[in-house]
Amino acid sequence: MLAALPLAEPDPLWALISAFRDDRRADKIDLVVGVYRDASGQTPVMRAVQQAETRLASVAASKSYRALSGNAAFNDGISRLLLGKDNEALDRQCTIQTVGGTGALRVLADFIALVSPAAMIWNTDPGYINHRPIMRAAGLGVKSFRWQDNGTGLDIDAAIADLANARTGDVVILHGCCHNPTGIDPSTEEWRRLAALCKDRGLIPLIDMAYQGFGDGVEEDARGLRHFAAELDTVLVAASCSKNMGLYCERTGAAMVIAANSGPLANIRATLERITRANYSMPPEHGAAIAACLFENPNTWLAELEESRQRVTTIRGNLADALADCGAPEKFQALRRQKGMFSLLPLDQRQMSRLREEFGVYGTANGRINIAGLLPDGVDRLAAALKAVSGAPSLARPVRASA
């Protein structure tokens, strides 16, 4: 059996992480790993999470098996976070806890393959590196539609033109906020156009909510999803608590199916549970129990999340300012209007290699960088490196006028 095992290519992202660790330069910059970092370069445990863990430890609840759907209080809390406390769609949705956001995506992929195996999955190009492999692993076909900047924001006309080729019953993956890797988010009107397209053509949206709270705010980041829930009979949602609660290694996520009414919910739940039973049986309890505590008393958590969002927004603005000041090409100013932790630099693979080899700046081969990985003292150096590899002429840094 093992003699027939095909040679597996190493994951390119983890290969870059290893290369960064082996780099001996003291001033190297890691913009690869997709985790939030504070001003000291650490990925902190939130104070609210620490308080919840202390509370859970004092209760010392049984470690016995739980339900296949996971922690019920967590499922209720995250459904309200996603849809809003008084949304009528809460009465026609089924949410189960999953093994992180990645687990949610795979559960939903298996759900699609079971109920609509001929459905084509439409994925943004560029898109999250793991969307395509997850869908293909479930036996689904994948096509792409353009997700690009037109100089002022999302080129919505290009996206809609490509999706005109989708057939009734096909599934469209959309990032609920903070698009990974581009940072390009739709405006309110563009969300409406996308929802109208799905409704008119009978397409099923699968909305990946991995970064709620890191764009414009917790409520604001859910506006696209909530509009889809109001306008369409069927919406699929994958959610993660990795970023907005810092529960990365706890693998805490959720899969939601919104239906036209409450009638099919029991069968939807039974189907989702059958899928998880044949995979990992039931999700881990600890992270979900923490999240349930945060949902119950959210003030400290939401305040900390807002601090993190503001830090990322400030770093993004500071980098855009530094790029403008050092004479980098205007195309880099798209960084200023993008949202969340990630952006896609307007550089090709050769330029990204040069950035790494000459300047010790690590991003992915396609140009994705994690803005949250940039420390304050690295902003000017990164801007200078980006200007250098972009081939821009050298300009003296002007003195910025005081506000």
The model's pTM is: 0.94
Assess whether pLDDT exceeds 70 at residue 403.
no
27-81 confidence digits (pLDDT tens): 999 999 889 999 888 999 999 999 999 999 999 889 999 999 999 999 999 999 9
Q: What number of other Cβ atoms are within 10 A of residue 269's Cβ?
A: 16
> Would you state the pLDDT for residue 392?
56
Q: How far apart are CA 21 and CA 23, in angstroms?
A: 6
- For residue 142, with 0-12 CB atoms within 10 Å meaning exposed, 13-18 middle and 19 or more buried, which class applies? middle
* Mean pLDDT calculated for residue range 264-292: 97
Least confident range from 112-116, 197-201, 373-377: namely: 373-377
Q: What are the residue ranges spanned by the domains of the chain?
A: 10-45+301-390, 65-296
DSSP string, 236-300: EEEEESTTTS--GGGTEEEEEEE-SSSTTHHHHHHHHHHHHHTTTSS--HHHHHHHHHHHHS-HH
Among residues 111, 105, 176, the alpha carbon closest in space to that of 134 is found at 105
Assess whether pLDDT exceeds 80 at residue 398.
no
Q: Quick one: fold of 65-296?
A: Aspartate Aminotransferase; domain 2 (3.40.640)
Assess whether pLDDT exceeds 60 at residue 400.
no
Structure tokens at 343: 């952006």
Q: How far apart are CA 349 and CA 357, in angstroms?
A: 12
Peptide bond into 181 cis (omega under 30): yes
Q: Which residue has the tokens 């890191």?
A: 214
> Would you state the pLDDT for residue 402?
31
Q: How far apart are CA 90 and CA 75, in angstroms?
A: 11
The three-state secondary structure class of 49 is helix
Q: Which one-letter DSSP state was computed for residue 48?
A: H
Across the chain, mean pLDDT equals 94
pLDDT tier at 11, thresholds 50, 70, 90: confident
Structure tokens at 391: 């081939």
In angstroms, how far is CA 141 from the centroid of its own chain?
22
Residues 183 and 340: beta-carbon distance below 8 Å: yes
Q: How far apart are CA 203 and CA 278, in angstroms?
A: 28
* Mean pLDDT calculated for residue range 11-16: 83
Q: How far apart are CA 252 and CA 240, in angstroms?
A: 6
> Would you state the pLDDT for residue 2?
94
Q: What number of other Cβ atoms are within 10 A of residue 1's Cβ?
A: 4
- Helix (H) or strand (E) holding 337, with range, is helix 334-337
Q: How far apart are CA 324 and CA 203, in angstroms?
A: 42
* Mean pLDDT calculated for residue range 103-107: 98
Assess whether pLDDT exceeds 80 at residue 247.
yes
Q: Which residue has the tokens 């792409």?
A: 144
Count H helices and E strands in the chain, helices first: 14, 11
CATH 3.20.20.70 fits 10-45+301-390, yes or no: no
362-397 per-residue burial string, b: 16 or more CB within 10 A, e: under 16? bbbeebbbbbbbbeeebbbbbbbbbbbbbebeeeee
> Would you state the pLDDT for residue 208?
98
> Would you state the pLDDT for residue 78?
98
User: Do β-strands 342-344 and 235-240 pair in parallel, antiparallel, or remain unpaired?
Assistant: unpaired
* Mean pLDDT calculated for residue range 105-116: 98
Least confident range from 5-14, 172-181, 252-261, 322-331: namely: 5-14
pLDDT tier at 268, thresholds 50, 70, 90: very high
Torsion angle of the four alpha carbons 325, 326, 327, 328, in this order, in degrees rounded to the nearest 10: -110
Distances (CA, A) of 9 to 19, 74, 109, 135, 373: 16, 37, 23, 19, 27
The three-state secondary structure class of 98 is strand
> Would you state the pLDDT for residue 15?
85
Q: What number of other Cβ atoms are within 10 A of residue 247's Cβ?
A: 23
Portion of the chain with pLDDT greater than 70, in percent: 97
Q: How far apart are CA 111 and CA 343, in angstroms?
A: 31
Structure tokens at 90: 């809460």
